[in-house]
C-alpha cells in the first residue's frame, strides 16, 4: 500500500517528519520492490518499527517504509532453538509465537513495544551480567540492500558481515526477517526490594554477580535503591505470579496513573517532586513472585518521557553514579524520574554498547514536557569522562569523530556500509551525524 504525505512521530514526541511517500509492504518481496522503486527515483528510504527510539534514527525524509504487516514466524526449529521472525514482529507478541515450540528469548529489555528489527538495530538490551543485548541472540538476517538485492547473512552466507548487520542502525539495508537463537522456556523467581542506596552501591559487584538478573532504580531526593533481582528456573518450576489486582495497583494506578499526574504537577510546582519521590519508594518496590520470563522482565509504561542512557565499563558505574548524585544535589534540580542502573555481558557486535567489555548502564529520564537539555548535557559529560558509549536509540550529542574513539570496529562498520549502501540510500540526518555524511 502506498500513500502520499502525512506525518510520522515517535512515541516520545522527540522526533517527527513528513515523508514524501509512505509504503506499507505486506511481504518481503514487497519491501524489495519498494527499495527498487525508491532507488530508481533517487529517493532516500528508511524503515520504521514501533517508534520507540528517542533519537531521529528512524526519520525518513523521502520514503517511509512501515513494516507493521511483516509480523509472525517464518520458520522454527524446536530442536536447535532457532526461530526466524518477520522483521516487524513486535516483541510483546514473540512469547506467544514461541510458546508452541517450548522456547523463549534468552533476555529482554524492560519495554516490549518495539519491533524485533528496531530493537536489535538500536542496541536494545536488558540486564544480567552473563547475558548480552538482544542483538547477541541474532544468528541470521535477511535484508534488502540499496541495490535491491535480497541478501541472506548467517553462518553459511557472508558470515563476516553478521557482527555489523545484527546491530546495523538501519544504515546497511532493510531487514525483512531475523533469525534468533532461542532457549528453552524458563521461569524467573523475582524479588523487588527497597534497600539503602549506599548499601547497594557498596555491594554492587556482589549483587550483580550473584543474581542472574539485577538492576536498581534511584529516585533523586531519596536515599533508597529500588532493587530488582531475578533467578532463572526451569519452566516446570512452581509459579506464584503477582495477583492481578496487586499488579494493577502497582503498575497501572501508581506507576502510571498517579505518577503521570505528579509529573505534570511538578512542571508547575517543582517543590512537589522530592516529597512524592520519597513517598513513591515507600509505596512500591517490595514484592516477591515467580512467573514466566517475559512477564517478569518487561513492564508496562504509559507515562511519556525522554531518555538518555550511557554504557560504561562495569567497574566505572559506582563512581559515575555518585558523580550524578552530587551533580543533582549541587544544581538543586528537582528530577521527577528515577535513574536506572543495569548490566550486560561483553559481546562481539561491532557497534554494540557492550562491545568487548562487561558493561553497566546508567539511564536518566525526564518527563516528556520538561526540557532535558541541561540535565542530560551535564550527565553526558560525566558519562564521557568514564569512557561511556551512548545508546543509539536514546538522546545524546556525540558525532562520528567522538564515537570512533570509543568503538574499535567503527571503521570496519563503515567499510560494510560502503559495500552495502555506497549511494547512502538509507541515510538521514541522525546517521550523517553519528556515522559521518
Query: DSSP character for 340?
Result: E
Model confidence at 243, in pLDDT bands (50, 70, 90)?
confident
- Domain 73-184 is found in CATH 3.30.465.10: yes
Task: Let me know how long the chain is.
Answer: 437
- Picking from 50-54, 122-126, 256-260, which range would have the lowest pLDDT averaged per residue? 256-260
Model confidence at 275, in pLDDT bands (50, 70, 90)?
confident
Return the domain boundaries, the chain. 73-184, 186-390
Task: Output the CA angle 385-390-392, nearest 5 degrees.
Answer: 165
pLDDT(420) > 70: yes
Cell of 142: 535477511
Contacts of 356 (CB under 8 A, 6+ apart): 346, 347, 348, 408
Average of per-residue pLDDT across 334-346: 96
pLDDT(249) > 60: no
Cell of 298: 518487561
Distance separating alpha carbons of residues 108 and 126, to the nearest angstrom = 5
Share of the chain above pLDDT 70, in %: 93
pLDDT(394) > 80: yes
pLDDT(262) > 90: no
pTM listed for this prediction: 0.95
pLDDT tens, 303-322?
A: 889 999 999 999 999 999 99
What kind of architecture, by CATH, is found in domain 186-390?
Answer: 3-Layer(aba) Sandwich (3.40)
CA distances (Å), origin 96, targets 251, 299, 307, 327 = 22, 17, 29, 44
* pLDDT of the residue at 334: 94
Contacts of 16 (CB under 8 A, 6+ apart): 7, 8, 9, 10
* pLDDT of the residue at 283: 65
* pLDDT of the residue at 125: 97
Whether 375 contacts 333, CB under 8 Å: yes
Q: How many Cβ atoms from other residues are within 10 Å of residue 150's Cβ?
A: 15
Is the Cα torsion angle 165, 170, 176, 180 positive or negative in sign?
Answer: positive
pLDDT tens, 109-152?
A: 999 999 999 999 999 999 999 999 999 999 999 999 999 999 99
Whether 301 contacts 111, CB under 8 Å: yes
Cell of 236: 516446570
Q: Mind giving me the DSSP string for 239-308?
A: -BPPPHHHHIIIIIIIIIIIHHHHHHHHHH-GGGHHHHHHHHHHHSS-EEEEEEHHHHH-----S-EEEE
Whether 305 contacts 311, CB under 8 Å: no
Whether 167 contacts 120, CB under 8 Å: yes
Task: Please report which residue ranges of 386-421 form alpha helices under DSSP H.
Answer: 400-404, 410-420
Please, what is the average pLDDT of the chain? 93
Model confidence at 252, in pLDDT bands (50, 70, 90)?
low
Distance separating alpha carbons of residues 242 and 245, to the nearest angstrom = 8
Amino acid at each position: 500500500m502506498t500513500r502520499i504525505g502525512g506525518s510520522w512521530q515517535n512515541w516520545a514526541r522527540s522526533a517527527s517528519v513528513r515523508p514524501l511517500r509512505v509504503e506499507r509492504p505486506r511481504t518481503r518481496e514487497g519491501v524489495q520492490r519498494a527499495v527498487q522503486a525508491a532507488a530508481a527515483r533517487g529517493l532516500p528510504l528508511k524503515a520504521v518499527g514501533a517508534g520507540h527510539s528517542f533519537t531521529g534514527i528512524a526519520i525518513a525524509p523521502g520514503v517511509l517504509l512501515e513494516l507493521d504487516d511483516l509480523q509472525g514466524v517464518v520458520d522454527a526449529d524446536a530442536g536447535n532453538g532457532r526461530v526466524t521472525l518477520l522483521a516487524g514482529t513486535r516483541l510483546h507478541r514473540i512469547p506467544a509465537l514461541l510458546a508452541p515450540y517450548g522456547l523463549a528469548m534468552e533476555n529482554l529489555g524492560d519495554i516490549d513495544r518495539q519491533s524485533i528489527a528496531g530493537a536489535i538495530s538500536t542496541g536494545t538490551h536488558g540486564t544480567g551480567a552473563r547475558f548480552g543485548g538482544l542483538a547477541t541472540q541474532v544468528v541470521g538476517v535477511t535484508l534488502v540492500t540499496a541495490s535491491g538485492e535480497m541478501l541472506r547473512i548467517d553462518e553459511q552466507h557472508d558470515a563476516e558481515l553478521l557482527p555489523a548487520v545484527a546491530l546495523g542502525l538501519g544504515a546497511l539495508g532493510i531487514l525483512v526477517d531475523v533469525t534468533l537463537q532461542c532457549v528453552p522456556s524458563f521461569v524467573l523467581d523475582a524479588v523487588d526490594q527497597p534497600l539503602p542506596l549506599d548499601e547497594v552501591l557498596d555491594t554492587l559487584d556482589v549483587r550483580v554477580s550473584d543474581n542472574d538478573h539485577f538492576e536498581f532504580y534511584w529516585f533523586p531526593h531519596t536515599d533508597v535503591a529500588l532493587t530488582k533481582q531475578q533467578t532463572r528456573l526451569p519452566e516446570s518450576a512452581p509459579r506464584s505470579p503477582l495477583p492481578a489486582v496487586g499488579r494493577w495497583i502497582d503498575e497501572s494506578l501508581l506507576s502510571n496513573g498517579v505518577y503521570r499526574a505528579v509529573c505534570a504537577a511538578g512542571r508547575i510546582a517543582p517543590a512537589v517532586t522530592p516529597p512524592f519521590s520519597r513517598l513513591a519508594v515507600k509505596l512500591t518496590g517490595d514484592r516477591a513472585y515467580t512467573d514466566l520470563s517475559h512477564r517478569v522482565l518487561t513492564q508496562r509504561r504509559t507515562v511519556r518521557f525522554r531518555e538518555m542512557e550511557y554504557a560504561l565499563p562495569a567497574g566505572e558505574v559506582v563512581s559515575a553514579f555518585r558523580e550524578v548524585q552530587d551533580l543533582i544535589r549541587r544544581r538543586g534540580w528537582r528530577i521527577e524520574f528515577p535513574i536506572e542502573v543495569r548490566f550486560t555481558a561483553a559481546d562481539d557486535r561491532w557497534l554494540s554498547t557492550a562491545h568487548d567489555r562487561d558493561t553497566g548502564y546508567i539511564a536518566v529520564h525526564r518527563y516528556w514536557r520538561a526540557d532535558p537539555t541541561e540535565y542530560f548535557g551535564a550527565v553526558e559529560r560525566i558519562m564521557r569522562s568514564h569512557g561511556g558509549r551512548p545508546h543509539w536509540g536514546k538522546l545524546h550529542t556525540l558525532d562520528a569523530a567522538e564515537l570512533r574513539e570509543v568503538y574499535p570496529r567503527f571503521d570496519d562498520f563503515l567499510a560494510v556500509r560502503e559495500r552495502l549502501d555506497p549511494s547512502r540510500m538509507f541515510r538521514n540526518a541522525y546517521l550523517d551525524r553519528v556515522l559521518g555524511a
